[in-house]
Amino acid sequence: MTDTTTILAETRARIADAPDVEALRAIEREVVGKDGVVASLLKSIPGLPPEERKGAGQSANELKQAVLAAIEEREASLGSAALEAERRADGFDGTLPPPRVERGTLHPVTQVTRELEDLFTSMGYMVLDGPEVELDDYNFEKLNIPADHPARDTQDTFYCSSPGSSASLLLRTHTSPVQVRAMERLEPPFRAIVPGKVFRQETTDASHEHTFHQMEGLVIDRNVSVGHLIGAMKTLLRGIFKKEIEVRLRPGYFPFVEPGFELDARCPFCTDGCSVCKRTTWIELLPCGLVHPNVLKAGGLDPEEWGGFAFGLGLSRLVMLRYGIDDVRHLLGGDLRFLDQF
């Protein structure tokens, strides 16, 4: 029987000389293949004297492992030589790492919107959408804000016209018009949130921007009270700030709710006053109230039978609170150095 040490030495020499991967594959077949040298060594074992069998099996296996290792090593060095050759040929350098693929991130407003959508859908709310270019009728009139109502002054916007139509169009100043659109289309009772972009004709500064985000909430049902509204708002705050937050209601005036409130939340960032709450320990968080009977009527509902509550969450403001952003203009400024941080 041929000594496995000799076979290994010879095979190693041939491997070292192999010019390419095909030559290596041929040696591999010849030595460790199905009908190769190692296989015939193993096949001859039963014919050996019993005391030699174990040793013969062992050395055949060792030969196989050693040959495979040598082939692998040579293959690796042939591979890098091939890359080396390629680099010389056309300037392509296969040894360099691949170009970095820039990964984007979701905009902070999108992140908070999705989080709130998850929270509200888990409480049975639908997520609705509405037009950003809205009819004056829905943005104001049907929300109990007639043409000469002073509340219009606080929500100046961008007006536009549509060729061939006398309809009075504008960029919506709030997500509230979707309240009426929802009532017109959905069978009560229902609950919905409406996240979206809104627009105002404003002189911009750190806390005013011509385009920002709101999230409207609307619940239509029988026998809805302010208690339901407070309960829903506390759940909302618990979802956002991950802890129990004390709230207080102050009277607030919005023509489409009655009674209307400004809801303040106990500052989630301090206990005795900080810059976020301007040392008051309260932050003004969201306007809300019970849906005005005139709005229910505008939506085709009978105010004797149906009632509801609505709230208008300032999404942009909430995002700023959450991430400690001090200027609303960063949000839509499009500066990647800002956006990369989220």
Residues making contact with ligand PHE (CB under 6 A) = 174, 176, 254, 257, 260, 287-289, 310-312
Please count the residues of the chain. 342
Specify whether the CB–CB gap between 143 and 295 falls below 8 A. yes
How far is the C-alpha of 290 from the C-alpha of 258, rounded, in Å?
Answer: 5
Going by their DSSP bridges, the two strands 169-171 and 126-127 should be labelled as unpaired
CA 115 to chain centre: 9
User: Judged by CB, which is closer to ligand PHE: 50, or 251?
Assistant: 251
CB of 114 to ligand PHE, least distance (A): 21
CB of 168 to ligand PHE, least distance (A): 19
CB of 285 to ligand PHE, least distance (A): 12
User: Judged by CB, which is closer to ligand PHE: 170, or 288?
Assistant: 288
How far is the C-alpha of 179 from the C-alpha of 128, rounded, in Å?
Answer: 10
How far is the C-alpha of 83 from the C-alpha of 95, rounded, in Å?
Answer: 7
Specify whether the CB–CB gap between 173 and 155 falls below 8 A. yes
User: Judged by CB, which is closer to ligand PHE: 138, or 254?
Assistant: 254
What spatial distance separates the first Cα and last Cα of the chain, rounded to whole Å? 70
CB of 153 to ligand PHE, least distance (A): 13
Give Cβ neighbours of residue 107 (< 8 Å, ≥ 6 apart): 331, 339, 342
User: Judged by CB, which is closer to ligand PHE: 105, or 225?
Assistant: 225
User: Judged by CB, which is closer to ligand PHE: 235, or 281?
Assistant: 235
CB of 267 to ligand PHE, least distance (A): 21
Q: With b meaning 16 or more CB within 10 Å and e meaning fewer, what string describes 310-323?
A: bbbbbbbbbbbbee
User: Judged by CB, which is closer to ligand PHE: 11, or 155?
Assistant: 155
User: Judged by CB, which is closer to ligand PHE: 31, or 286?
Assistant: 286
Residue number with the shortest CB distance to ligand PHE?
A: 312
CB of 166 to ligand PHE, least distance (A): 26
Helix (H) or strand (E) holding 194: strand 190-199
User: Judged by CB, which is closer to ligand PHE: 116, or 310?
Assistant: 310
Specify whether the CB–CB gap between 28 and 37 falls below 8 A. no
User: Quick one: CA torsion of 218, 170, 135, 259, rounded to 10 degrees?
Assistant: 40
Q: What are phi and psi of 309, to 5 degrees?
A: -125, 155
CB of 145 to ligand PHE, least distance (A): 10
CB of 312 to ligand PHE, least distance (A): 3
